[in-house]
Amino acid sequence: MSKTVLICARLFDGLGEALAGPAEILIEDGIITDIAHSVSHPATAKIVDLGDRTVMPGFIDTHVHLCLDGLNLRQQILECSATKALTGLHLAQQYMRYGFTTLRDMGTLDQDWPTINLRDAIESGLVHGPRLVVAAHMISATGGHADMQGAFPCRCHLGLSKVADSPGKIRELVRAEHAFGGDWIKTMNTGGYMSFGDDPAKVTWFEDEMQCLAETARQLGLPVAVHTGAAEGCKQALRAGARSLEHCYLIDDEGISMAEKGGAFIVPTMQMTREDKAMLKAGKLPMQAAWKFGRDVDEIERAQKRIAASKVPVAFGTDCGMFPFSHGVLEFQAMVAAGITPLRALKAATSVAADLLQRDDIGVLAPGKKADIVAMTGDPIADIAITENVDFVMKGGRIYRHQAFDIFQS
């Protein structure tokens, strides 16, 4: 049995209202078995003194695209599945260095199943990487956000998009996601910014189509995540019982109060707005995105303030893949800039994200939980930017980064 004792100055357990500590954590075979001011130090245990660092649960990013390169869509979607999976593995490993030990992947554009293959390779121990929870593809209407046919006029039969225009076809697509091992069903019920020929301000599913998708997923025991923009799209997703609403670019007060009552999670991807704003200002936002984003940016920022002021459970999610993974950790600062308290942002990336993923074994530091643990110098509640300082990463009791040891350093 492998045993480790972590010694730290301060500790955020993912649930509390303040930092605790000093504390010691006993880890046996990848599971936390004791946390106290001082724990037993078994003779065979490895003792790791983290000095002045603050320890907290490994970060969970509930919205990434490991196998989707948003800024090079035309080029990347033509690559084969193996290339996408291998690139995704590299990105996942590098992202883990920042402290992200669990990622929910929200879809790729590929006929095959590269994110499922990647999840399984990591889970089986074939390669090292973060825990992955996967929605394999994105299901949308023809001309909807996941329909890449608009990128290839006259060459649209590449089979990359998972599009449907009737309840029967939607059922077929949901069942295929289930059959090939998807953990979640991802759908788009409005357009988006980076895609061609659609508009986030417009709803693309009819009510019966959204309901059919949700009912089929429910029957198969799969939770539903909905990319949504328009205020009416947010409400449609809530009426259908979606577990998470992604982005909610244009959510209004009525949508917020529906979400508060309905118990859905919102994943607001606020850093992406900052990235797109900087690109718009620099004249670098792709043409298909610039007119839509320029029109909506003020309203998106107002919607983010509504989300921050609400009681809706907010889960940390970045949409990395649409922008560089090296900027993903800045989501903490973007959330706080929008009015979310640092403590709520930290919970969003730990206990709340784990709740969204229906994973009661991660996101919290307590006996019985998996030892997914990160550490940083400084106090992230006093200064959220401290989250950029992670220099200790453990997943399942195994150390991936500590001092000079950095398994993924490239």
Which residue minimizes CB distance to Zn ion? 319
Cα→Cα distances 240→22, 210, 230, 336, 377, Å: 46, 7, 16, 30, 43
User: Can you give the binding site for Zn ion, defined by CB under 5 A?
Assistant: 106, 319
CB of 150 to Zn ion, least distance (A): 17
Residue 410 CB: number of other CB atoms within 10 A? 7
Give CA–CA dist 83/172, Å, rounded. 27
| Nearest partner of 133 among 392, 317, 400, 328, judged by Cα | 317
Minimum CB distance to Zn ion smaller for 296 or for 319: 319
Q: Which amino acid is at 18?
A: A
Closest to Zn ion by CB, 4 vs 187, is: 187
CB nearer to Zn ion: give 8 or 138: 138
Instruction: Give me the least distance between CB of 207 and Zn ion, in Å please.
Output: 23
Q: Which residue has the tokens 């295929």?
A: 176
Nearest alpha carbon to residue 365 among 392, 391, 385, 347: 347
Q: Please, which residue, 272 or 364, has the CB nearer to Zn ion? A: 272
The least distance separating Zn ion from the CB of residue 225, rounded to whole angstroms, comes to: 9
Nearer to Zn ion, 61 or 319 (CB): 319
Distance separating alpha carbons of residues 342 and 344, to the nearest angstrom: 5
Give the C-alpha separation, 287 to 16, whole Å. Answer: 45
Task: Please give the radius of gyration of the chain, using alpha carbons only, rounded to the nearest integer.
Answer: 21
Nearer to Zn ion, 6 or 106 (CB): 106
Tokens of 42: 């078994």
Q: In what order do the strands lie in the sheet with 131-134?
A: 59-64, 100-105, 131-134
> Rounded distance, CA 384 to CA 393, Å?
18
Quick one: CA dihedral 142, 64, 219, 262, positive or negative?
negative
Minimum CB–partner distance for residue 36 and Zn ion (Å): 41
HSE-up (13 A, CA, CB side) for residue 118: 33
Tell the smallest beta-carbon distance from residue 255 to Zn ion (Å): 19
Nearer to Zn ion, 98 or 249 (CB): 249
Which of 112, 319 has the CB closer to Zn ion?
A: 319
Q: What's 364's DSSP letter?
A: S
Minimum gap (Å) between residue 158 Cβ and Zn ion: 20
Q: How far is the CB of 349 from Zn ion (least distance, A)?
A: 17
Q: How far is the CB of 106 from Zn ion (least distance, A)?
A: 5
